[in-house]
Amino acid sequence: MTHTGEKPFTCEFCGYKTVDRTDLMKHRRMHTGEKPFTCEECDFRTGDPKSLKIHSSKHTGEKPFECEDCEFKTADRSSLRTHKRIHTGEKPFTCNLCDYRTRDRKSLAVHKRKHSGEKPFACMYCEYKSNNRSVLTLHVRIHTGEKPYACEECDYRATQKAALVSHMRTHTGVKPYACDICEFKTGYRSSLITHVGTHVRELKQHPFFLDPLVVAEVSHIGEQEPPSTSPEVASKACV
């Protein structure tokens, strides 16, 4: 933003405003579908030169930025900086309207749009709008059929990385979701929630012997995120 607060560059498709002409050009490509930056090794195309650089590291295997506290590696310096805040607990970006805090500037920008109601990212195929650029990207793939995340073990392809990570557990056998009541483990959160439901039903059959608060606590099992994906699985699912 300029000293006056002026944002002189405006998107004619959705009203998005910015102080940077280059940023506007990159934004407009979401509407036009233009992807002028192409990979020399495969058919990957993108509207963002930074995304191309990160993608190209898949072919070269180059990940020069390494975390000192774990095995995480990345081709992007800013990604490493954000990652390291997981270890330090640092959340330097704060919302001035509520007590929300986050590790990265992008998440804060998305959060603040919840207060303003702003949805600057519009689909060029339908009337869908979002306050999150990444969510719009996933939505557009419904129209285009693009599935950029491919499994190295079979012909499975996905529209988003999370789906690929979940799928790969069928190959690796990793089961990060564990029941706190018994020894049940699974690779899928939905399976854990279904399983925990059997415990809840069993407990409700004995209301005179159990505090209702315990039933409520058990009902929330499965809502937590599992531990971070192992380096091996994460590396295979990288973009």
What is the residue type of 9?
A: F
pLDDT in tens, 12-68: 888 888 988 888 888 888 888 888 889 888 888 888 888 888 888 888 888 888 999
Residue-wise pLDDT tens digits, 71-100: 898 888 888 999 999 999 999 999 999 999
Does 125 map to a domain? yes
Is 119 inside any structural domain?
A: yes
Indicate the residue among 124, 139, 154 that finishes a domain: 139
| Together in a domain, 116 and 182 | no
Domain contains 148? no
The pLDDT tens digits for 2-14 are 566 788 899 888 8
Domain housing 130? 65-139
For 42, 178, 234, the CA distances from 138, given in Å and listed in that order, are 21, 29, 20
Q: Find out whether 123 and 132 touch, Cβ atoms under 8 Å.
A: no
**Nearest CA-CA partner of 173 in 129, 230, 108, 91:** 230
pLDDT in tens, 98-119: 999 999 988 998 899 999 999 9
Do 52 and 69 sit in the same domain of this protein? no
Q: Is the dihedral of CA 128, 134, 138, 141 positive or negative?
A: positive
pLDDT confidence of residue 232: 43
Domains of the chain: total: 3
Mean pLDDT across the stretch 112-138? 91
Is 50 within the bounds of a domain? yes
Name the domain boundary from 41, 62, 83: 62
Q: Is the pLDDT of residue 218 over 80?
A: no
pLDDT in tens, 171-216: 999 888 998 889 999 988 889 999 988 888 877 776 555 566 655 6
Decide if 75 contacts 57 (C-beta within 8 A).
Answer: yes
Domain boundary among 37, 62, 87: 62
